[in-house]
Amino acid sequence: GQQVMQIPQYQHVQEGEDFTTYCNSSTTLSNIQWYKQRPGGHPVFLIQLVKSGEVKKQKRLTFQFGEAKKNSSLHITATQTTDVGTYFCAGPFGNTDKLIFGTGTRLQVFP
């Protein structure tokens, strides 16, 4: 079945350092979505990428969709303690709307 993997599983960084999480799908995706989940919270939508090779930026966050539409990355520049949480990528399964979530990358930022 379709699988979405993320690496690394955990990342601990010093405040001000950069952070990157990588997402890989076993199948081609029509789009990729990124969510952030704070400890004890629920997934919050960050962004959706649709086009091959697309790059989008949200302040210190840069999202990229691979040319083959099977992988994606999220890069955070100069992390802050407010970036703490688990970052999930998710893609639609087949031609439906249901999302297959990645395994997530848990980010811890030390002040």
Partner 1 sequence: DTGVSQDPRHKITKRGQNVTFRCDPISEHNRLYWYRQTLGQGPEFLTYFQNEAQLEKSRLLSDRFSAERPKGSFSTLEIQRTEQGDSAMYLCASSTGQGARADTQYFGPGTRLTVL
Q: Which of 20, 24, 27, 31 binds partner 1 (CB under 8 A)?
A: 31
Rule CB under 8 A: say whether 74 interacts with partner 1. Answer: no
Contacts of 106 (CB under 8 A, 6+ apart): 9, 10, 11, 85, 86
Residue 109, Cα to own-chain centre: how many angstroms? 17
Question: Which range touches partner 1 (CB under 8 A), out of 13-21, 38-46, 55-63, 72-80?
Answer: 38-46
**Alpha helices by DSSP H, 5-99:** none
Q: Which of 20, 24, 27, 48 binds partner 1 (CB under 8 A)?
A: 48
Question: Which range touches partner 1 (CB under 8 A), out of 11-19, 56-64, 75-83, 92-100?
Answer: 92-100
- Of residues 33 and 64, the one with the C-beta less far from partner 1: 33
Omega of the bond leading into 111 within 30 degrees of 0 (cis) = no
